[in-house]
Structure 1
Amino acid sequence: MELFLKILFYVSGFIIVWAMIGYPLSLKVIGKIYKNRNLRKDYSHQPTVTVMVVAHNEEKVILDKLYNILELDYPKDKIEFLISSDNSTDKTNEIVAKFIKEHQDRKLRLYEVKDRKGKTNAQNEAQKTVTSEYLVMTDANSMMDKNSVKELMAAFTSDDIAYVSGRLSIVNQGASEVSDAEASYWDSDMTIREIEGRIQTITAGNGALYACRTQDYYDFNPIQCHDSAMPPLYALQGKRAIANHDAIAYEKAGEVIEDEFGRKVRMNRIILKHILPDIRILNIFKYKWFSYFYFGHRTCRYLLWISHLILLLSNALLIHQSDLYSMTFAGQVLFYLLAIIAAITKTNNKYLVLIYYYTVTIIAQWAGVYRILTGKAKPFWEKAESTR
C-alpha cells in the first residue's frame, strides 16, 4: 500500500512540475538547438480570403469590429467579410445590416444562425457559404492589426501548412491583478507556441485570430473549439499548424476573477477528451515532436485538476514516512492557505495573486469535469462583460 501511495505521489508531482516548469524549460533548450529553423514568409502569397466574425449579442463592440476589419491592409478584390450571428437577440444583426448597406462598395455579408448552438456551430454553418481559398477566424471583441491577414497568408509557404495562429495581445494588462495574471499566462504560452511551430507543429491555436485553407476546414462537434481541436487534427493528418506572432489581435482580458473563472470553466467543457483526444498521439516514432509537445503542453495541463488532489491525499497518508513528506504536505497546505488569503483580502501582492489565479484555474478544471459528468456542459455561453 505504501509503495502504491508513493507511486501516486511522485507521478502526480511529476505531472504538475512538468506541466508548469519542466516542459517550458525543456522547450527553451530545444528551441536553442533548433535556433536556425525560422518561420518562413512569402508576402507575395495573397489568395482570396474570407474573414469570418462570429457574434452573439455583441451590440457593444460589433460596430468597432466592423470598422476594424475594413481597415485591414489586404487587396480589396481578394477579401470579403462574413459576420455569422449566433441567434443574436439584441441589436447586433440590425447594426451589421445597416453597416453593410452603408458600405456597399465592400464585400460584407451577414449570416444569421437560427438556433443558438455556440461559436463552432455558427462557424460550421457559415463556412458552407464560403467560396474563397482561405478562411480567417476572429472574435467580435478582438481588434485585428491592419497587417494581420497579410501576415497570416504569408505564413502559408508550403502545402503541409494547414493552419496558422496569430498572437493575442492583452490591452488591459495593468487594469487589475486578474488581467495582469492572464497577460502573463499568454506571454508565456506564446513563447512556447512559437518554438513548437518552428520545430514542427503547435498543439493548440488562438481563438482570437487564426486561419486555415477552406478545403481543410472540418465540421467539429459544436461542443468543441476549433482553436483547440484543429491543430491536433492536422498533426494526425501529417500536416502542420504553426504560429505567426506578427499577426496580432488585441483583446481585453477579464478584469474580475468571476469573469476569468467563467471563461476557464467554459474552456474546460471537454477537458476529459482533451487529455488524450486520439491514442495515435502517443506514437512518437510517427508523429515525432508533436507527441512530446502534446504530452507536455496539453496532457499534463489537462491532468492538473486530478494530479493536485492525488498529490495532496497521497501526501497526507505518507506524512509518517519521513520528514520529506511532512514538508511537502505542509507546503501544499500553505499554498492553498495563501490562495484563500489572497481571495479574502483582495491583495495586490503579485505573488499571492499568481497563487490565487493558479488555484482558481485548477478549480475551473474541476468545474469543467463536473459539468461533463453531470451532462451540464454546453457549446455556448454568456460573454464576460469586463472583456467588452
Structure 2
Amino acid sequence: MNLFFKLLFYISAFIIYWAMIGYQSSLKYIGKIYKSRKLQKDYNHQPKVTVMVVAHNEEKVILEKLHNIIELDYPKEKIEFLISSDNSTDKTNEIVKNFIASHSEYNIRLYEVKARMGKTNAQNEAQKTVVTEYLVMTDANSMMDTNAVKELMAAFTSDDIVYVSGQLSIVNQKASDVSNAEANYWDSDLAAREIEGRIQTITAGNGALYACRTKDYYDFNPIQCHDSAMPPLYALEGKRAIANHDAIAYEKAGEVIEDEFGRKVRMNRIILKHIIPDIRILNVFKYGWFSYFYFGHRTCRYLLWISHLLILVSSALLIRESWIYSVAFLGQTLFYLLALLRAVTKSQNKYLTLIYYYTVTIIAQWVGVYRILTGKSKPFWEKAESTR
C-alpha cells in the first residue's frame, strides 16, 4: 500500500512541478532550437473582415467600445462591425442603436439574442449572419489597439493558418497585488504561446482578441468557450492556431480576489473535459509538438486541483517513511495556513497575496469540478465590476 501512496506522491509532485515550472523552462530551450522560425506577416493581406463584440448588460463600457472599434486602422470599405447582445436587459441595446443611428457612415449591426445562453451561443447565432471571409472576436471591455485588425490579418500567411490570437495587455497591473498577480500570469502564458505558435500551434487562445477564417468557424456547445476549444480542434484537423502579439487588446484585470475567483470558476466550467478533450492528442507521432504542448500547458494545469489533494494526503500517510514526506506535508500545511492568514487579515503583503492568489486558483478548479459533477455548470458569465 505504501508503494501506491508513493506513486501518488511523486506523480502529483511531477504534475505540479511541470505545470508551474518545468514546462515553461523546457519551452525556453525548445524555443532556442527553433529560433530560426519567425512569425511571418503580410501587411498586404487585407481581406474583408467582421469585428464581433459580444455583450451582456455592458452599458458601462459599450459606448467606449463602439468608439474604439470605429477608430481601427483598417480600410473602411473592408470592415464591418457586429454587436451580439446576449439578451441584455440594461441600456446596452439602446446605446448601440443610438450609436448606429448617429454613425451611419460605418457598417455597424446589432444582433439581439432573444434567450440568454451565454457568450458562445451569442457568437454562434451572430456568426450565421456574417458574410465576410474573416471574423475577429473581441470582448466589450477589451479596448483594441488601432492596428489590431491589421496585425491579425497580416498573420494569415498560409492556408493552414486558420486562427490568430492577439495579446492581452493588463492596464491596471499596479492597482493591486491581485491584478499584479494576474498580469504576471498572462506575461508568462503569452511567452509560452509565442513559442508554441512559432513552432507549430498554440493550445489555447485569448477571448479578448482573436480572429479566424469564417469558413472554419465551428458551432461549439454553449457550455464551451472558444479560448480553450478552438485551437485544439484546429490542431486535430491538421491546421494551425498561432499568436501575433503585435495585435493588442487592453483590459483591466480583477483588482479584488472575489472578481478573479468568479472569473476562474467560469473558466473551469468544463475542466474535466479539458484535461484530455480528445484522446487523439496523445498521438505524438501524428501531432508532434502539439501533443507535448497540450500535456504541459493544459493537461497538467487542469490536474492541479486533484494533484494538490493527492500530494497532501499521500505525504500525510507517508510521514513516518522519510523526512521527504514530513517536509512536504509540513510545507503544504504552512502554505495553506499562510493563504488562510491572508484571507482573514486582508494583509497587503505581496508574498501572502501571491500564495493566496494561487490557492484561490486551485479552489476555483475544485468549484468547477463540483459544479460539473452536480450538474450546476452553466454557460453564463457575470462581469467582474473591477474590470469595468
TM-score range, shorter chain: over 0.9
Aligned to 2:370: 370
Aligned to 2:43: 43
CA distance in 1, matches of 2:382, 2:247: 27
Aligned to 1:27: 27
Residue 175 (1) aligns with residue 143 (2): no
CA distance in 1, matches of 2:351, 2:281: 36
Aligned to 1:2: 2
Aligned to 1:214: 214
| CA positional deviation for 1:347 | 2.2
Any idea what the Cα deviations from partners look like across 1:34-72, whole Å, max 9, x if unmatched?
111110000000000000000000000000000000000
| CA positional deviation for 1:348 | 2.3
| CA positional deviation for 1:341 | 1.4
Aligned to 2:157: 157
* 1:10 partner amino acid: Y
| CA positional deviation for 1:287 | 0.2
| CA positional deviation for 1:220 | 0.1
Aligned to 2:137: 137
Any idea what the Cα deviations from partners look like across 1:57-106, whole Å, max 9, x if unmatched?
00000000000000000000000000000000000000000000001111
- For structure 1, the residue ranges without an aligned partner over 5 or more in a row are none
* 1:252 partner amino acid: K
Secondary structure, counterpart of 1:43 in structure 2: coil
Q: Name the Cα RMSD after superposition.
A: 0.6
Aligned to 2:121: 121
| CA positional deviation for 1:233 | 0.2
Aligned to 1:312: 312
* 2:188 partner amino acid: S
CA distance in 2, matches of 1:351, 1:200: 36
Any idea what the Cα deviations from partners look like across 1:270-329, whole Å, max 9, x if unmatched?
000000000000000000000000000000000000000000001100001011111111
CA distance in 1, matches of 2:189, 2:350: 19
CA distance in 2, matches of 1:222, 1:242: 24
| CA positional deviation for 1:349 | 2.2
CA distance in 2, matches of 1:58, 1:324: 52
CA distance in 1, matches of 2:44, 2:246: 16
CA distance in 2, matches of 1:130, 1:91: 25
* 1:277 partner amino acid: P
* 2:198 partner amino acid: R
Residue 63 (1) aligns with residue 63 (2): yes
How many residue pairs align between the two structures? 388
Aligned to 1:185: 185
CA distance in 2, matches of 1:45, 1:348: 49
| CA positional deviation for 1:345 | 2.1
* 2:234 partner amino acid: Y
CA distance in 2, matches of 1:347, 1:191: 31
CA distance in 1, matches of 2:195, 2:355: 27
CA distance in 1, matches of 2:20, 2:92: 40
CA distance in 2, matches of 1:324, 1:50: 57
Secondary structure, counterpart of 2:120 in structure 1: helix
Aligned to 2:76: 76
* 1:211 partner amino acid: A
4+ residue segments displaced more than 3 Å: none
Secondary structure, counterpart of 1:174 in structure 2: helix
| CA positional deviation for 1:227 | 1.2
Secondary structure, counterpart of 1:277 in structure 2: coil
CA distance in 1, matches of 2:25, 2:354: 19
Aligned to 1:274: 274
TM-score where L is the length of structure 2: 0.99
CA distance in 1, matches of 2:326, 2:127: 57
Aligned to 1:196: 196
Aligned to 2:107: 107
Aligned to 1:293: 293
Question: What is the 5 A alignment of 1:314-329?
Answer: 314-329=314-329
TM-score where L is the length of structure 1: 0.99
Aligned to 2:352: 352
| CA positional deviation for 1:368 | 0.3
| CA positional deviation for 1:133 | 0.4
Residue 237 (1) aligns with residue 269 (2): no
Please say which of residues 80-89 and 319-328 is displaced more in the overlay. Answer: 319-328
- For structure 2, the residue ranges without an aligned partner over 5 or more in a row are none
Any idea what the Cα deviations from partners look like across 1:123-171, whole Å, max 9, x if unmatched?
0000000000000000000000000000000000000001000000000
Aligned to 1:336: 336
CA distance in 2, matches of 1:311, 1:162: 40
Secondary structure, counterpart of 1:321 in structure 2: coil
| CA positional deviation for 1:259 | 0.5
| CA positional deviation for 1:256 | 0.6
Secondary structure, counterpart of 2:241 in structure 1: strand
| CA positional deviation for 1:215 | 0.2
